[in-house]
Amino acid sequence: AKSAGGNRYELADPEADARAITRHGLTTALPAALERGEFFIEYQPLVHLGDGSVRGAEALVRWLHPQHGVIGPDRFIPLAEHTGLIVPLGRWVLEESVRQARLWEGRVLDGGATGPLRVNVNLSPMQLTHPGLVSDTVDILEREGLEPGGLCLEVTESALIGADDDLLKPLRRLAEMGVDIALDDFGTGYSNLANLRRLPVSVLKLDRSFTQSMQHFPADPVDLKIVEGIVSLAHSLDLAVTVEGVETGAQADQLRELGCDTAQGWYYARPGPPDQLHELALADAIS
């Protein structure tokens, strides 16, 4: 694995900017920030654990605030959800990410990579219930010329707990078109594993807490058994397993041994500018 390239942004110390700016201040500044183009996206590589190749990236939004510097999504996404701004903001993230995936496609295929790079985009619960989700997604894919298979939408496990058919219908439509749906932060909720069969998902993203438990050697044997069980259940349902928060080579080895398919984490690369991704992918293609 290679480490991240030079010019990436560091997130400001969340404690420090919390002191400098109130929730209310941030909330009221959000709409104008979207209009002025103060949001930007960093992309964190998704790496195939079997052969180490870069397969795509997760899009992670940030806010470059004119006074307070870079603000991380944990601070403003909840505010955007509260006010409903998450719908237009999420649409912008989707559009920008799909456009970026299309750009990578040209670059990596010309450079000799084996396949296109896919992009993962996070969806908030409010976007799921917004009636424009399917049509917006179709429009964006068509306008940018990206195959639906180049896009994976990440939905948290908690957003789908107890989901009824009305909530699942748009996700099902998207899945039928070929868009992948990933169940994010898996293992943190209380979802019934048998319930997975009902959900139109093709990827499980194991929460970082599982990866963290592999930090110590020897890892807790119960944790290992749990991950092993989740992976075998996922595979028997034809779901791929992605692990997040991989920070060390030892964790990567352990998770590979447990049968996980794809990994994401600082060990491979921090979230970074879009060029980081195709550079890593091309470096892989020639090595």
Judged by the rule CB under 6 A, the positions of this chain that interact with ligand C2E are 44, 60-61, 72-74, 77, 90, 93, 122, 124, 184-185, 244-247, 264-266, 271
Does 154 bind Ca ion (CB under 5 A)? Our answer is yes
83-122 residues in contact with Ca ion (CB under 5 A) are 122
Q: Which of 46, 43, 2, 3 is nearest to 243 (CA)?
A: 46
Query: Among ligand C2E, Ca ion, none, what binds residue 157 when CB lies within 5 to 8 Å by partner kind?
Result: none
The stretch among 140-148, 178-186, 190-198, 213-221 that binds Ca ion (CB under 5 A) is: 178-186
Does 211 bind Ca ion (CB under 5 A)? Our answer is no
Does 184 bind Ca ion (CB under 5 A)? Our answer is yes
The stretch among 42-50, 104-112, 138-146, 179-187 that binds Ca ion (CB under 5 A) is: 179-187
Q: How many Cα atoms occupy the beta-carbon half-sphere of 160 within 13 Å?
A: 30
Query: Among ligand C2E, Ca ion, none, what binds residue 276 when CB lies within 5 to 8 Å by partner kind?
Result: none
Query: Among Ca ion, ligand C2E, none, what binds residue 5 when CB lies within 5 to 8 Å by partner kind?
Result: none
Residues in the chain: 287
CA dihedral over 29, 96, 108, 235, signed as positive or negative? positive
How far apart, in whole angstroms, are the C-alpha atoms of residue 80 and residue 172? 26
Q: Enter the DSSP assignment of 100.
A: H
Cβ proximity of 275 and 13 under 8 Å: no
How far apart, in whole angstroms, are the C-alpha atoms of residue 186 and residue 202? 13
Query: Among ligand C2E, Ca ion, none, what binds residue 26 when CB lies within 5 to 8 Å by partner kind?
Result: none
